[in-house]
């Protein structure tokens, strides 16, 4: 009788274990189906491996099932920090009642995750890695303090390899895409989207065509004071420019340019560029053969 009861108990536990595994597998599959495309888009825009983004999303949000993910669309456990001006919520984490960011959509959470990594100096070294080096990225995130768990990198790598997410890191999107109104949107080598001005274009006209506000467009481009009419072929960025170049340490000028013009050409914000190249005003013309630091 005891042997029979023991056998029944083992069978019940085995069925429960398989049911739990099946449930986790289905949650994982559903999460990947929903968000893999967004992760690849973010990779091509910002250079963060899609495998890493998805693994972090799965781990931090419990496959989208955590309270923070369901109520606040926060899939990466990003806390408020001093620069956050959006909506907030509070939850217990490393400390009681900590402040977390709230997003209007999961896509916004993925975008903010990318910006959080690209604009934070402690993660800068990760962008020197190959985007296919998911193990290096996992270890780098742990070393930089993204999470306090000592096994964080191991967990990310396991999630990636269990579902072969590293294969997504091979995918890319075309550098030129088409907006719904037929406008060609291009991707700068510094991973910032832009359009080229047509004859007679203004910031207002382009803002209307691409669906961003005039204020955003002028902020993204830090345009010359009072300038509105653009020259044919001018780059007009429709995303915020970077703090530094992702591909170049410096350039040597082949013609006289100002730091403002260089910032626009290289898709870098003006103030960080000026800090790296002190002693010049924004609009002072710099001589040919002058070396300009981009990061």
Instruction: Name the residue ranges covered by the structural domains of the chain.
Output: 27-170, 176-237, 250-293
The whole-number average pLDDT for the span 51-76 is 96
What pLDDT, on the 0 to 100 scale, is given for residue 155? 96
The number of beta carbons lying within 10 Å of the beta carbon of residue 45 is 17
Confidence band of 181 (pLDDT split at 50, 70, 90): low
The whole-number average pLDDT for the span 129-142 is 93
Confidence band of 200 (pLDDT split at 50, 70, 90): confident
Beta bridge partners of 249: none
Element (H, E) at 51: helix 50-61
Q: Which residues have a Cβ under 8 Å from the Cβ of 228 and sit 6 or more positions away?
A: 202, 203, 204
Confidence band of 172 (pLDDT split at 50, 70, 90): low
CA atoms within 13 A on the CB side of 247: 10
Tell me the C-alpha distance between 205 and 199, whole Å: 11
The whole-number average pLDDT for the span 10-30 is 61
Confidence band of 183 (pLDDT split at 50, 70, 90): low
Confidence band of 26 (pLDDT split at 50, 70, 90): confident
Say yes or no to pLDDT of 180 above 50. no
The angle at the Cα of 202, spanning 201 to 207, to the nearest 5 degrees, equals 105
Say yes or no to pLDDT of 226 above 80. no
For the ranges 23-27, 150-154, 251-255, 285-289, the lowest mean pLDDT is seen at 23-27
Percentage, residues of the chain above pLDDT 70: 86
In the chain, how long is the greatest CA-to-CA distance? Answer: 94
Q: Which residues have a Cβ under 8 Å from the Cβ of 52 and sit 6 or more positions away?
A: 134, 137, 138, 141, 156, 160
Percentage, residues of the chain above pLDDT 90: 47
CB 110 within 8 A of CB 60: no
The number of beta carbons lying within 10 Å of the beta carbon of residue 76 is 23
Confidence band of 19 (pLDDT split at 50, 70, 90): very low
Burial class (CB in 10 A: 0-12, 13-18, 19+), 215: exposed
pLDDT tens-digit series, residues 137-161:
999 999 999 998 999 999 999 999 9
Instruction: Please write down the long-range contacts of 95-104, taking CB distance under 8 Å and 24 or more positions apart.
Output: 100/68, 100/72, 100/74, 101/72, 101/74, 102/72, 102/73, 102/74, 103/72, 103/73, 103/74, 104/73
What pLDDT, on the 0 to 100 scale, is given for residue 225? 57
CATH topology of domain 176-237: Membrane-bound Lytic Murein Transglycosylase D; Chain A (3.10.350)
3 state DSSP class of 202? strand
> Which architecture characterizes domain 27-170 according to CATH?
Orthogonal Bundle (1.10)
């Amino acid at each position: 009788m005891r042997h029979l009861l023991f056998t029944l108990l083992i069978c019940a536990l085995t069925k429960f274990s398989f049911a739990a595994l099946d449930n986790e597998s289905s949650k994982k599959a559903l999460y990947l189906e929903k968000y893999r495309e967004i992760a690849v888009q973010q990779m091509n825009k910002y250079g963060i491996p899609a495998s890493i983004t998805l693994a972090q999303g799965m781990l931090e949000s419990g496959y989208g099932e955590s309270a923070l993910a369901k109520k606040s669309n926060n899939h990466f456990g990003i806390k408020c920090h001093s620069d956050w001006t959006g909506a907030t919520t509070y939850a217990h984490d490393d400390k009681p009642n900590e402040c977390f960011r709230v997003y209007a959509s999961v896509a916004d959470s993925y975008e903010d995750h990318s910006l959080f990594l690209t604009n934070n100096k402690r993660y800068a070294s990760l962008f020197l890695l190959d985007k296919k080096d998911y193990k290096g990225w996992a270890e780098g995130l742990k070393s930089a303090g993204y999470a306090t768990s000592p096994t964080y990198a191991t967990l990310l790598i396991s999630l990636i390899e269990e579902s072969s997410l590293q294969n997504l890191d091979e995918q890319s999107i075309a550098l030129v895409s088409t907006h719904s109104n037929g406008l060609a949107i291009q991707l700068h080598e510094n991973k910032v989207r832009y359009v080229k001005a047509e004859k007679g274009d203004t910031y207002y006209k382009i803002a209307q065509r691409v669906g961003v506000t005039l204020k955003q467009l002028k902020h993204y481009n830090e345009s010359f004071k009072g300038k509105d009419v653009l020259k044919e072929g001018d780059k007009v960025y429709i995303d915020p420019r970077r703090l530094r170049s992702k591909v170049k340490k410096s350039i040597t000028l082949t013609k006289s340019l100002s730091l403002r013009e260089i910032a626009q050409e290289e898709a870098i914000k003006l103030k960080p560029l000026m800090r790296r190249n002190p002693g010049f005003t924004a609009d002072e013309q710099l001589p040919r053969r002058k070396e300009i630091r981009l990061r």
